[in-house]
Structure 1
Amino acid sequence: MTHCEKVTFAGSAAKLTGNLFLPQPPGAGSLPVPGVVVAGTWTSVKELMADRYAERLAERGYAALSFDFTGFGESGGEPRDVESPKRKIDDIRHAVTFLAGHPAVDGERLGALGICAAAMYMSGNAAADDRIKALALVAPWLHDPAICEEAYGGAEAVREKIAAGEEARAHYEATGEVEYVPVVSATDERAPMPYEIDFYLNPERGAVPAWPNRFAVMAWKEWLTLDSLAFAPRITAPTLLVHSEDAAIPEGARRFHAGLAGPRELLWTPGTQFDFYDQESQVTIAVDAADSHFESTLR
Structure 2
Amino acid sequence: MRREDVEFSSDGVTVRGWLYRPDTDEDVPAVVLAGGWCYVRELVMPYYAEAFVTAGMAALVFDYRNLGVSDGEPRQHLDPKQQIRDYQNALSFLERTPGIDNDRLGAWGISYSGGHVMILAATDPRVKAIVSQIPVIDGFRNMRRIHGTMGYRKLWDAILEDRRLRFDDPDQRLHIAHASENPEEELSSWPFPETKTTFAALQATEAPLYQNSSTMESVDLLLDYDVNYFVPRILDTPSMMIVAEGDDLTLWDLEIESYNSIPTPKKELVVLPHTSHMTLYSDQSKLAVAAEHASRWFTTHLLAK
The alignment's TM-score, normalised by the length of structure 2, stands at 0.89
Determine the structure 2 residue equivalent to 1:298: 302
Is the Cα–Cα contact under 8 Å of residues 114 and 136 in structure 2 kept in the other structure? yes
Q: Match of 2:277?
A: 273
Give distance in 1, aligned partners of 2:34 and 2:211: 17
Q: CA deviation at 1:163?
A: 4.7
Which of 42, 64, 67 in structure 1 is aligned with 2:62? 67
Q: 8 Å contact 1:120–1:142 — kept in the other structure?
A: yes
**Contact 2:137/2:228, CA 8 A, preserved across alignment:** yes
Aligned CA distance change for structure 1 residues 5 and 85 (closer, same or farther; 3 Å):
same
- 1:94 and 2:89 are equivalent in the alignment: yes
Equivalence for 1:17:
16
Q: Distance in 2 between matches of 1:203 and 1:292?
A: 27
How much is the aligned-residue C-alpha RMSD, in angstroms?
A: 2.0
Closer, same or farther: CA 161–196 of 1 in aligned 2, 3 Å: closer
The residue number in structure 1 matching 2:255 is 253
> Equivalents in 1 of 2:11, 2:26: separation in Å?
30
SS in 2 for 1:202: helix
Q: CA, structure 1 residues 150+196, in 2 after alignment: closer, same or farther (shift >3 Å)?
A: closer
- Conserved in 1, the CA contact under 8 Å of 2:7 and 2:14? yes
Q: Is the 8 A contact 1:242 1:267 kept in 2?
A: yes
Paired residues of 1:199 and 1:206 also in contact (CA < 8 A): no
Residue 179 (structure 1) aligned with residue 179 (structure 2): no
The correspondence for 1:168, drawn from 130, 154, 162, is: 162
User: What is the CA distance between 1:205 and its match in structure 2?
Assistant: 6.5
The change in CA–CA distance for 1:207 and 1:199 in structure 2 (over 3 A counts) is farther
Q: Which stretches in structure 1 are left out of the alignment for 5+ residues?
A: none
SS at match of 1:113: strand
Determine helix, strand or coil for the equivalent of 2:230. helix
Code of the residue aligned with 2:187 in structure 1: it is: R
C-alpha deviations, 1:39-84, integer Å up to 9, x for none? 2221111111222211221122111011000100000110011121
Q: Is the 8 A contact 1:71 1:77 kept in 2?
A: yes
Q: Percent identity, aligned pairs only?
A: 27
Q: Distance in 1 between matches of 2:260 and 2:36?
A: 23
Pairs within 5 Å for 1:117-136:
117-136=112-131
1:229–1:255 Cα contact (<8 Å) kept: no
Match of 2:186 in 1: 189
Q: CA deviation at 1:22?
A: 0.8
Give the deviation of 1:152 after TM superposition. Answer: 2.5
Change (3 A) 1:135 1:82: same
Measured after TM superposition, the shift of residue 186 of structure 1 is 1.4
In the alignment, the residues of structure 1 paired with residue 36 and residue 204 of structure 2 have an alpha-carbon distance, to the nearest angstrom, of: 14
Given that 2:76 and 2:215 are in contact with CA atoms closer than 8 Å, whether structure 1 keeps it comes out as yes
Instruction: Establish whether residue 8 from structure 1 lines up as the match of residue 3 from structure 2.
Output: no
2:105 to 107, 110, 113: 110
The aligned counterpart of 1:264 is: 267
Q: With structure 1 as the length reference, what TM-score do the two structures score?
A: 0.91
* Contact 1:116–1:139 (Cα < 8 Å) also in 2: yes
Residue aligned with 2:208, SS: coil
Partner SS, residue 256 of structure 1: helix
Moved more, 30-39 or 256-265: 256-265
Structure 2 unaligned regions, length at least 5: none
Which has the larger displacement, 108-117 or 273-282? 273-282
Do the aligned partners of 1:180 and 1:214 also contact (CA within 8 Å) in 2?
Answer: yes
Partner secondary structure for residue 193 of structure 2: coil
Aligned CA distance change for structure 1 residues 90 and 83 (closer, same or farther; 3 Å): same
8 Å CA contact 2:35–2:111 kept in 1: the answer is: yes
Question: 1:45 is matched with which residue?
Answer: 40
Q: Measure how far apart 1:259 and its partner are.
A: 1.1
- AA at the equivalent of 1:250: W
